Structure 1
Amino acid sequence: MAGCAGRLTAPSPSIKAELAPRGELRAALFTGNPVIASKNRETGELSGTAFMLGRALAADAGVGFAPIEYTTIARLMDDAKTGAWDVAVLAIDPARRAVIDYAPPYVVVDITYLVRPGSPIASVAEADRPGVRVTAARGAATALMLQRTLKNAQLTPADSEPAAFELIREGKADAYAQNRFMLLGLADRLPGARVLDDRLDVVQLALALPKGRPTALAYVTTWMAQARRSGLVQRAIDAAGLRGVQAAPAAR
């Protein structure tokens, strides 16, 4: 199985034991966000940037690759506390740093709103007004962001990304916050729904490890820099068909 195809030195036994304590790299793949990972409904096959990078990391580290699918980010974060997985792709958010540590980001994505059919909302600013019902998946970086920044609108968290979309479809929410790539796909499924032109924020995605694995984190940080230089990150973005999604600038 091909790895990063760079010149990264293989990890020492102690680093390998910290990175993959059970002898295989258990990669948490959140399939609720196609920028992170996806699952083919017919074949069950997993794909996406998290899958491709996790598989390459395992190959370069000389350990097996064991993907674990998660359909909600809240469950994934709960499992981080118990050591149920070894690496994941997550949006960088300060509220998560008590539980996980991040390598440098590899992707940046625009966050904006999908507004329900018939909504007069034309900008991000107009979505933060009294009486506006904003939704996001519970535990998602967008929900954490809105908890800190909304001043007037009502935040109504949903149990999952599909549940948040259903609130829009059923007219029980006015605006749904997520990355632009994902929302454009959802808008195609709901006539009259619109993705706003401006953006709420920019979110960075990065490989994340459970808290307390410093030598493994250092290895993954170095590995990610090589993955960027070798073109692996861009190939993962291209393979996932993520139009408009950009590789994060190299860390300085």
Structure 2
Amino acid sequence: MSPVSADVVKDLAPAGVLRAAINYGNGVLAQRGPSEQEPRGVSGDLARELARRLGVPVHFVSFDGAGKVFDALGATPPDPLAWDIAFLAIEPARAAEIAFTAPYVLIEGTYLVRKDTPYQSVTELDAPGRRILVTPKSAYDLFLTRTLKHAELVRLPPHDDDALMDLFARERLDAMGGVRQLIGKYLATNPDLRLLPDSFMDIRQAMGTKQGRTIGARYLQDFVEEMKASGFVAEALKRSGQSATVAPPAA
């Protein structure tokens, strides 16, 4: 990429520091490090590289869910935890406030179900009387809210694993929606569960900045394309021990 102009730096780091929102609710993209300023994973690596190119320090702002990242942006009065860049899935409900890049990673959204249920495909869950557990304001919650015709969504804020499994079992819910790699972890301690083989969506993980920062958003778009093409994203995923698909070049 060409040298960074002062206008780009002003757009993306107006306070002289790049405030990067890190969503620890998505363990494929971010994992906690020794401190809040040392996150591991592809999100942290991309933020550090971007800050290096801008010539400013990076300050990480931690969140435990994508919905909280989005809410911090539009809070009134302004939230002290607001950010300059974030790593979120592209969703129409967010695009009015966030200027997204093309995706840099694609992740599958699927369902976790009990082994004794008859479901073999995600389409079978969209039926009257079916209840699906999701995290509020997550990408898959927003998508399923838009697309499901009959099933009911049951929302539980980001919580510990025991609370999720307790609610799932106690309420006899039909499925839990989520990122395949993340909800798949429950199989190790719950042998009576299984993942459906197909998916209900490709979760398109992208970088974003606030709408109105046109110059910065354009630079961010080019930055993401270079990070994909150079192998940076693939290497960052590998270093953090995560398996995900690097998104293809933007059309």
Report the TM-score, using the length of structure 2 for normalisation. 0.89
Q: Which secondary structure state, in structure 2, belongs to the residue aligned with residue 38 of structure 1?
A: coil
Alignment partner, residue 108 of structure 1: 106
Change over 3 Å in CA distance of 1:115–1:156 after alignment to 2: same
Q: Per the alignment, do residues 214 and 116 of structure 1 end up closer, same or farther by CA in structure 2, a change over 3 Å counting?
A: same
Shift of 1:232: 0.6
Matched position secondary structure for 1:221: helix
Q: Give the partner amino acid of 1:223.
A: F
Q: How does 1:231-242 map to 2 (within 5 A)?
A: 231-242=231-242
1:96 pairs with 2:89: no
Contact 1:32-1:71 at 8 Å conserved across structures: yes
Residues 207, 127 of structure 1: alpha-carbon distance in 2 compared, 3 angstrom cutoff: same
The residue matched to 2:70 in structure 1 has which SS?
Answer: helix
Q: How does 1:60-209 map to 2 (within 5 A)?
A: 60-81=53-74, 82=78, 84-116=82-114, 118-160=116-158, 162=160, 164-209=164-209
Give the distance between the partners of 1:214 and 1:165, measured in 2 at CA. 43
- Provide the residue aligned with 1:227 in structure 2: 227
Count of residues in correspondence between the two structures: 243
Q: Does 1:54 align with 2:47?
A: yes
| CA shift for structure 1 position 187 | 2.2
**Distance in structure 1 (CA, Å) of the matches to 2:166 and 2:46:** 31
Q: For the aligned residues, what is the CA RMSD?
A: 1.9
Deviation of 1:72 after TM superposition, in Å, equals 2.2
User: Which secondary structure state, in structure 1, belongs to the residue aligned with residue 2 of structure 2?
Assistant: coil
Contact in 1 for aligned 2:127/2:150 (Cα 8 Å): yes
Deviates more, 1:208-217 or 1:224-233: 224-233
The normalised TM-score by structure 1 is: 0.89
Q: What 5-or-longer segments of structure 2 have no aligned partner?
A: none
Name the CA distance, whole Å, in 2 between partners of 1:198 and 1:180: 10
The separation in 1 between residues aligned to 2:215 and 2:164, in whole angstroms, is 38
Distance in structure 2 (CA, Å) of the matches to 1:29 and 1:166? 28
Q: Tell me: CA distance 1:145–1:67, structure 2 relative to 1, closer, same or farther (3 Å).
A: same
Q: Secondary structure at the residue paired with 2:191?
A: coil
Q: Residue 22 of structure 1 aligns to a residue in which SS?
A: coil
CA distance in 1, matches of 2:68, 2:236: 25
Distance in 2 (alpha carbons) for counterparts of 1:9 and 1:192:
54
Cα 1:56/1:170, change in 2 over 3 Å: farther
- Is the 8 Å Cα contact of residues 91 and 204 (structure 1) preserved in structure 2? yes
Q: Indicate the larger mover: 135-144 or 153-162.
A: 153-162
Unaligned runs of 5+ in 1: 1-7
1:3 paired residue number: none
Q: Is the 8 A contact 1:32 1:161 kept in 2?
A: no
Alignment partners' CA distance in 2, 1:189 and 1:29: 28
Q: Is residue 22 of structure 1 aligned with residue 20 of structure 2?
A: no
User: How far does residue 80 in structure 1 lie from its aligned partner after superposition?
Assistant: 1.5
